């Protein structure tokens, strides 16, 4: 799907503009002008003649000029009728805001099916419905009804939530050098989905990092392929909702999503290079670090701090996230001691500069340490104490960052005293933070992504020959005999499993199989056999076998058992299911009682 014209149109028509400042039709028109769009703009509404000193047409057919994009700021039913008219004037790109489709229930779902049919029939590409539009800061096309003009930057953001997009825009307006290349609201994904947008941003030279808020994935196989291709070029950071049963239900009512198994989503994201954020501010932290080009070069971190307790708390979080504290060499320790005036400074890691540390002392400590080759990044913590030179220290860090390639992450904690410093850092494109809470996990996930890309393998889908396909009985749980049959048809030779229904058969089979023997209950109702003592291992002779047989029958109330030759080795579990979004998913792990821990 070629979306270049869709997101960078030379002309835009808005059907349903309004004179009421509270109406969507007014807000969209206002945003398009306020963002600075330079292409042709056409307003359509039969009820008035002018808006923002521009002519308002009675009907889109009156324009008589090519139109690259049509925005429908009208209710759902009116939009459905307008599609027929738009077909007659060769319109192919449409933004549809209206709700009342599949997220609204059965009738809405039918309406959306008709929308999709019309889009295919008329060769139309539709963003939405139930969306808030998009912003391109490349062409300054803002066809949203958000509160502010969107700041320009290198973050491409795809959102399945309009409200989260509104929050993002409002957040970025309050910051410097941190903005969008594109903001795209998916809505119900009638024709354009996350795969199409991810593919577009993959190839966009103005997008350095991609952020996604997802509630579901529409085309799992395509998503995996495009995600893998994209993450080899630029990071993709994903905030996925629906990790709980309650959250999944909420997502379903929000955009009519078909939310799948959250563990499968996590595995798919990780396997194909995506970075999954756990919380919103962790998501924003990773976007900022990647947008500013300040990714750590290794997991070895150095901490400088003027607050011992805070440094210890940060250390705990770094270690929990499998990062490491770099060891400070003895010669560096001596240099710092000399520059700092004696033994009052704690020269370990964290390096505690004490509460009265001056900007000069921060400078000396950074100069002595940051050139160490094995340092992946430096975290500088500052709390505003009585003698703290907050802004001077900020300027010192900015100067140090300009001289070194290793990233410096300032954590200036507080509010009133440190606010201006964070503005200075953003102007210098340094990723600074008011608290340490989300930085350790953000750094760990970025490092994991970098390692993944360096050691990634190409995933190719192999088609199974029809002759090698395994036929599995259509039931929820296979009994052991059926399981063995499936394994053998797949070329895996399992240990023979023999059914016995009486003491006489047990005695006879025990002698035929040979000791030691394993005895198992033969019940399709009980899947976790150890919970009812349904597995007896290492049976050495006939007496033990008969005693265990009677004990097992008494415990389960069933006379049938399975006998197998006792084998020694590593036990593991393997399973598979067909996921609604991502297809076949494989489970592999420790078997037996350890399977309960998975």
CATH number of the domain at 113, please: 3.40.50.261
At residue 412, the pLDDT reads 94
Q: Which CATH number does the domain housing residue 511 bear?
A: 3.30.1490.20
pLDDT tens-digit readout, 278-294: 999 999 999 999 999 99
Q: For position 258, what pLDDT does the model report? A: 44
Domain contains 103? yes
Q: Which of the listed residues 454, 475, 490 is the one where a domain comes to its end?
A: 454
Residues 305 and 261 in one domain: no
Residues 479 and 415 in one domain: no
**For position 322, what pLDDT does the model report?**
95
If asked whether residues 513 and 399 sit together in one domain, one would say: no
Of 260, 289, 318, the domain-final residue: 289
Q: What is the pLDDT of residue 94?
A: 98
Give a yes or no: residue 248 inside a domain.
yes
The mean predicted confidence, pLDDT, of the chain is 88
Q: Is 460 within the bounds of a domain?
A: no
Pairing of strands 351-352, 300-305: parallel
**Number of helices followed by number of strands (H, E) in the chain:** 19, 26
Q: Does residue 435 have a pLDDT over 70?
A: yes
pLDDT at res. 254 = 41
Classify residue 91 by burial, with Cβ atoms within 10 Å: 0-12, 13-18, 19+: buried
> Taking the model in full, what pTM does it have?
0.86
Helices (H), ranges, 136-219: 162-173, 194-202
Same domain, 325 and 263: no
* Cα–chain center distance at 305: 32
In the chain, helix, strand, coil percent, each to 5?
A: 40, 20, 40
Count CB atoms within 10 A of the CB of residue 3. Answer: 19
Q: Looking at the structure, tell me whether residues 321 and 352 fall in a common domain.
A: yes
User: In which residue are the tokens 């409200």 written?
Assistant: 163
Asked whether residue 125 falls in the same domain as residue 219, the answer is yes
Provide CB contacts within 8 A for 88, sequence distance 6+: 61
Strands 300-305, 535-539: pairing kind: unpaired
Residue with tokens 């993944």: 452
Whether residue 401 is contained in a domain is answered as yes
How many domains is the chain partitioned into structurally? Answer: 4
pLDDT of residue 256: 44
Helices 220-231 and 194-202 meet at what angle, rounded to 10? 20
CA dist 337 and 208 (Å) reads 41
CB neighbourhood size of 431 (10 A): 24
Stated as kind and residue range, the H or E segment containing 116 is helix 106-122
Same domain assignment for residues 386 and 493 = no
Q: Buried b vs exposed e over 46-67: b needs ≥16 C-beta within 10 Å? A: eeeeebeeeebbeebeeeeeeb
Q: At what angle do helices 359-369 and 390-403 cross, to 10 degrees?
A: 20
417 in any annotated domain: yes
- Determine the pLDDT at residue 388: 84
Greater confidence (475 vs 192) lies with: 192
Note whether 535 and 597 are same-domain residues: no
Residue 324: Cβ within 10 Å count: 14
Are β-strands 134-136 and 180-185 bridged in parallel, bridged antiparallel, or unpaired? Answer: antiparallel
Higher-pLDDT residue of 365 and 160 is: 160
377-403 pLDDT tens trace: 999 999 988 788 889 999 999 999 998
The three-state (H, E, C) secondary structure of 372-403, written as one string: CCCCCEEEEEECCCCCCCHHHHHHHHHHHHHH
> Same structural domain for residues 245 and 313?
no
Which of 454, 481, 507 delimits the end of a domain? 454
With pLDDT > 90 as the criterion, what percentage of the chain qualifies? 61
- pLDDT classification of 257: cutoffs 50, 70, 90: very low
pLDDT at 489 over 60: yes
Q: Does 459 have pLDDT greater than 70?
A: no
Q: What is the DSSP letter of 155?
A: E
83-94 pLDDT per residue, tens: 999 999 999 999
Residues 386 and 486 in one domain: no
Assess if residue 81 is contained within a domain.
yes
Residues 121, 267: one domain? yes
Q: 66-80, 132-146, 457-471: which has the minimum mean pLDDT?
A: 457-471
- What is the domain range of residue 317? 295-454
Query: Is residue 316's pLDDT more than 90?
Result: yes
| 562 & 450 share domain | no
> Does 459 reside within a domain?
no
Residue 193 domain flag: yes
- Within 10 angstroms of residue 216's Cβ, the number of other Cβ atoms is 24
């Amino acid at each position: 799907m070629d979306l270049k014209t869709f997101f960078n149109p030379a002309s835009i028509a808005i059907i349903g503009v309004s004179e009421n400042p509270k109406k969507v039709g007014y807000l969209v028109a206002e945003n398009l002008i306020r963002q600075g769009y330079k292409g042709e703009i056409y307003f359509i509404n039969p009820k008035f003649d002018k808006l923002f000193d521009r002519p308002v047409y009675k009907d889109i057919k009156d324009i008589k000029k090519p139109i690259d994009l049509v925005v429908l700021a009208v209710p759902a039913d009116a939009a459905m009728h307008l599609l027929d008219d738009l077909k007659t004037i060769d319109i192919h790109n449409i933004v549809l805001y209206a709700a009342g489709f599949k997220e609204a229930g059965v009738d809405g779902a039918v309406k959306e099916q008709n929308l999709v049919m019309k889009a295919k029939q008329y060769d139309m590409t539709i963003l939405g419905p139930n969306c808030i539009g998009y912003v391109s800061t490349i062409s300054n096309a803002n066809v949203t009804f958000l509160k502010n003009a969107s700041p320009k930057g290198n973050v491409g953001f795809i959102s399945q939530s309009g409200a989260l997009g509104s929050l993002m825009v409002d957040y970025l307006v309050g910051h410097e050098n941190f903005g969008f290349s594109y903001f795209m609201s998916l809505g119900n994904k009638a024709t354009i989905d996350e795969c199409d947008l991810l593919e577009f941003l993959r190839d966009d030279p103005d997008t350095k990092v991609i952020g996604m808020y997802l509630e579901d994935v529409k085309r799992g196989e395509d998503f995996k392929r495009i995600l893998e291709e994209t993450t080899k070029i630029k990071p993709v950071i994903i905030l996925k909702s629906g990790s709980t049963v309650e959250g999944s239900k909420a997502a379903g009512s929000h955009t009519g999503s078909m939310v799948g198994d959250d563990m499968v989503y996590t595995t798919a994201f990780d396997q194909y290079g995506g970075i999954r954020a756990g919380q919103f501010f962790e998501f924003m932290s990773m976007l900022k670090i990647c947008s500013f080009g300040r990714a750590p070069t290794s997991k070895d971190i150095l901490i400088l701090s003027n607050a011992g307790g805070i440094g210890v708390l940060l250390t705990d979080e770094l270690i929990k996230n499998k990062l490491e504290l770099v060891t400070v060499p003895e010669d560096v320790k001596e240099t710092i001691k000399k520059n700092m005036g004696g033994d009052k400074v704690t020269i370990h890691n964290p390096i505690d500069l004490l509460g009265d540390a001056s900007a000069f002392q921060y400078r000396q400590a950074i100069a002595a340490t940051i050139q160490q080759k094995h340092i992946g990044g430096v975290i500088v913590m500052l709390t505003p104490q009585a003698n703290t030179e907050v802004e001077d220290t900020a300027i010192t860090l900015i100067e140090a960052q300009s001289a070194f390639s290793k990233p410096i992450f300032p954590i200036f904690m507080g509010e009133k005293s440190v606010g201006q410093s964070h503005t200075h850092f953003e102007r210098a494109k340094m990723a600074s933070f008011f608290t340490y809470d989300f930085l350790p996990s953000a750094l760990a996930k970025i490092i994991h992504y970098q390692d993944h890309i360096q050691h990634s393998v190409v995933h190719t889908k192999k088609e199974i020959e029809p002759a090698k396909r395994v036929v599995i009985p259509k039931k929820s749980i296979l009994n052991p005999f059926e399981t063995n049959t499936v394994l053998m048809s797949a070329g895996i030779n399992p240990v023979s499993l023999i059914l016995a229904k009486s003491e006489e058969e047990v005695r006879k089979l025990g002698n035929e199989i040979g000791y030691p023997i394993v005895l198992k209950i033969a019940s399709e109702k009980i899947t976790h056999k150890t919970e009812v003592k349904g597995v007896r291992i290492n049976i050495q002779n006939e007496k033990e076998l008969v005693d265990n047989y009677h004990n097992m029958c008494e415990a389960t109330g069933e006379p049938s058992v399975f006998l197998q030759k006792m084998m020694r080795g590593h036990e593991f579990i393997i399973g598979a299911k067909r996921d609604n979004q991502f297809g076949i998913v494989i489970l592999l792990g420790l078997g037996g009682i350890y399977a309960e821990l998975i």
